[in-house]
Structure formats: C-alpha cells, structure tokens
Chains A and B, each alone.
Chain A
C-alpha cells in the first residue's frame, strides 16, 4: 500500500530523515515511534506529499507522490500534529467545507457528517465554533475531518497528545476498529499507545529506521534472562552477597533493600536453579524470584539513546 524507498529529507544542513526505506501492506496498523525530533512528522509529511523528499521516492497504492499527488491525497485521511483547525469556524461548517473538497455528494453528505460526528463523539459540540473547544474535542474534530471521506489510508500524527485517559482509550479503540479494514499509520512518542493499538512498530531515531516489527518481536529481541531479581526473607546484604557471589554463573550481584538482590548472570547462563539450591541449602525462604521484565520503553530507550 505504501512503499518508501531510500527516503531522505534535508532542511538546509539538517538532515531530518536519512535513507529511510519501508513498506506498509494494506490493512496494517503501524506505529511510528521515536523521540521528539526523530523525523516522524517529516516522514509522515512526505507520505502525504506535503514535503518533497530530497532524495528517494514514496509510492502510495502504486502511485508516485511526485506525479499523482492529488489522487493519492484523495485516498488519504490525515490529521497533522497539533491539530491545526480554522478556529473561527463552526464545527459543522468546517465538516461541510471538508466534504466539499472531498467531493462527498450532497445527497449523502448529511448522513456522512452525522455518522462521523457520532463515531468521534463530537455531536454535542457540532454547532460550536472550533476556537471555543477544549483540546480533546479539537483533536476529535481533527479525526472526524480525516475520516469523513472513508479513506483507504489513515495517517495520524500524535493523535492522543491532548486527551484525558478516558478519551485516549476511546480514540485507541476507534483506531483499532478502523485498523480492521484500513491501513493506519500512527506516530507517537507514547509507547503504551503504540503497544495498545499497533500490530507493527517502526522505531525511528535521528532520521533512521532502527527497529521494525510487532511489539512482541521487538520485546523478544531485547529480552534477557540473565538478570534475576530475588528476595530472601530476613537476610542481610552482607550475608546474601557473600553467598550469592559464590555461585558459578554469577557475574555480578547487587544488594537492594530488605533482602532483595539483583543478580546478573554471565552471558548464556541461567542461575535461577542455582539460586534455588542455595536457598534450600541454607534454609532461606525465597519470597520472590523473577527475571527482569523488558518493556517496550527499555527497547525504545536502548535503540534511541546513544
């Protein structure tokens, strides 16, 4: 559906995107993840044809953005970052304006606007001027605007940045629902959001693609069983350190509060069994033992920080 090849974009001396290539298939829900300034928005703007790539090509539905941008735009629903809307317009007038440009026939227009307003739950504010809306409502008007023509591809640049937790859940559900039949690209720096909605995550850092896969795949890549957290009941730091460090596979051990120890095993070794045997031999009670949980946050931090 979307194919980017060797995409680069430079603003003067600053290279925002460097040699980015990816492919997005029809029906995928893709999260574009990256720290601020990583080139997410620039990439998205090139997909919508708002920016022209310095080098490289973007193809959307087999059409090239440099040639058939208008036909591509007809198939895309786009919500830019910071939801720029005409503040002086009434929501309904604004949706009519978009319908005009989207060439929604007059006969079905009323129906379409009603449907999209319901979907984004903005019926209550439909007669208000956009400038008077809270940012949550604005964001949903922005979403309604992007959905009104039932686009094949939906591109949302940080869609939940101004929402409260309830609204975030609503929008996520909406994105998931839309993602069942459409191609959706969501950019975000909020990891839980991407994890909750996207079947595929692309992590961009400093204009380059540093990871690409489903959230589970990314986690699996980075998972490590070699750090074990263990808690013994009533064991002091000195006693514990001395005993644990004597186990063969242990590379390092640190004592934390109240009998908790963080044990780092040598590469490729699993020391959990040894820890159990140690506890049995010394008649210590194990209150807790777990391997370190890697979150998408850790993956993200690891990949985007140098």
Chain B
C-alpha cells in the first residue's frame, strides 16, 4: 500500500517536471510534427481511409522519441546530485524506477493521444474501421513502454544524458531491426529472433489481433529492463 503510494508520489513529481522543463513540449511537438508530416504524405498517396501508414511509422519514430523522454530520468538526478536526497528518503529503488518509468509512459501516452485528430481527419474523409485503430494505439503504447523500459535502463547506467540517449537509441534499434535480418539466418534461429523483435509483436497487435503471446512478450520485455534498471541504480560508482 505504502509502496503504491510512493510510486504514485514519484510518478506525480516526475510527470509534472516534464512540463516544468521544455523537454515535454519539445518531444511532443517534434513527435507530432514528424508523425503528422510523414503520415499524411503517405496517406494522400495511398488514397485509403486507413491509419496503417501511421502505425507503420510508430516503431521507427519511437526509437528516437522513447530514449529522448527517458534520458534525463536518472542521469540528470545524478548530475545535479538530487539522487543523493531521493535515495536517502524512505523510498525503495523499485519505487523510484517504477514511478519514473510510469511517468515516461504517461508522457508518451499524451503524445499518442494528441495524434487522435489524425484518425478523426481520416474518418472525416472516408470510412475508417476503428477496430485496428484502437488495436494500433494499444499496441503503440505497449511497444512504447518497451522502448521506454530500455531507455530507463540506459539512463540508470550513466550520469550523462547524451550517453543515455545514444545507448537507448542503439538498443531500441537492435530490437527493431532484429526481425528484418531474418533472411540471412538459419531457420531455427530466425524464429527466435522474430520473437525478440519489438516491431513484429507490434504489427500483430496493430492488425487488431490481441494475442496472449504478444502480451507476454511485451510484459516480460518491460519487466526485464525494469529489473535491470533497479539493479543499475544500486551501483555506487557515481556517489
């Protein structure tokens, strides 16, 4: 009970501080700008009332935006040393990481929510099947959370935001590209790599099929990186 309350307290502070600094505005604006521009470019070419091109973009865009959101979460606290206060308050490391992670997910959620007008625009010019749209949003949030968990881990490793960003981008990219190199691999390895791909599971969900396997993948992927993060902030090299 107390733990939940603590997570909520950390979450609240972190989420509000996104908006106290320019970070949230810049990240969200850039996300809307890129996704809107790239989507409508394809949309008018294709001439179909569908959000598929939008959800096709999301996995690539998030490779950049997820680490941009998470890069400061721990690294900045280390640089400004506020971490020494945070970690001597009666808070568990898991509570700190989870609170911050959820704040990042919430910010990403806000970004996604602000793309709803795209769907409404599409619906106004043609007949839009809303099923895959909701599936797409749900999948995008899950996949975003997976990227953010990677980013969370990267920011827990360093006191330098740029390092956290680049590292996060690299790892996210690996988990994105992993199913696109399958043709070079023996078949058995290929299935394993396909399963590890963040993008592959996203496309399953974005089609509107919510399969337990994809859910299990995302949840275990997120849990793994969150647990790594909790261990990573226990290291004392920065103190």
Verify A50–B88 contact, CB threshold 8 A.
Answer: yes
Confirm or deny: B81 has a beta carbon within 8 angstroms of a beta carbon on chain A: yes
Verify B13–A84 contact, CB threshold 8 A.
Answer: no
Confirm or deny: B56 has a beta carbon within 8 angstroms of a beta carbon on chain A: no
CA A100 – CA B83 in complex, angstroms?
17
Confirm or deny: A80 has a beta carbon within 8 angstroms of a beta carbon on chain B: yes
Q: Which residues of A, 55-77, contact B by the 8 Å Cβ criterion?
A: 70-71, 73-74, 76
Verify A97–B9 contact, CB threshold 8 A.
Answer: yes
Q: List 12 A-B contacts (CB under 8 A).
A: A45-B239, A71-B90, A73-B89, A73-B90, A80-B81, A89-B20, A97-B9, A97-B12, A101-B6, A101-B89, A101-B90, A145-B85
**B3 CB to closest chain A CB, in angstroms?**
10
Give the A interface residue count (CB, 8 A). 29
Among residues of A, the one whose C-beta sits closest to the C-beta of B84 is A80
CA A87 – CA B80 in complex, angstroms?
9
CA A87 – CA B21 in complex, angstroms?
10
Confirm or deny: A226 has a beta carbon within 8 angstroms of a beta carbon on chain B: no
Verify B85–A78 contact, CB threshold 8 A.
Answer: yes
Verify B81–A84 contact, CB threshold 8 A.
Answer: yes
Residues of A within 8 A of B17 (CB): 86, 88-89
Chain B binding surface SS class: helix
Confirm or deny: B224 has a beta carbon within 8 angstroms of a beta carbon on chain A: no
Residues of A within 8 A of B6 (CB): 101
**A66 CB to closest chain B CB, in angstroms?**
13
Verify B92–A70 contact, CB threshold 8 A.
Answer: yes
CA A102 – CA B85 in complex, angstroms?
13
Among residues of A, the one whose C-beta sits closest to the C-beta of B23 is A88
User: What per-residue 1/0 map shows which CB atoms of B11-22 lie under 8 Å from chain A?
Assistant: 011001100110
Q: Max chain B CB contacts within 10 Å: which of A78, A98, A100, A102?
A: A100
Among residues of B, the one whose C-beta sits closest to the C-beta of A149 is B90
Confirm or deny: A52 has a beta carbon within 8 angstroms of a beta carbon on chain B: yes
Verify A85–B82 contact, CB threshold 8 A.
Answer: yes
CA A71 – CA B90 in complex, angstroms?
7
**B192 CB to closest chain A CB, in angstroms?**
38
**B209 CB to closest chain A CB, in angstroms?**
41
Residues of B within 8 A of A70 (CB): 90, 92
Q: Which residues of A, 73-125, contact B by the 8 Å Cβ criterion?
A: 73-74, 76, 78, 80, 82, 84-89, 93, 97-98, 100-103
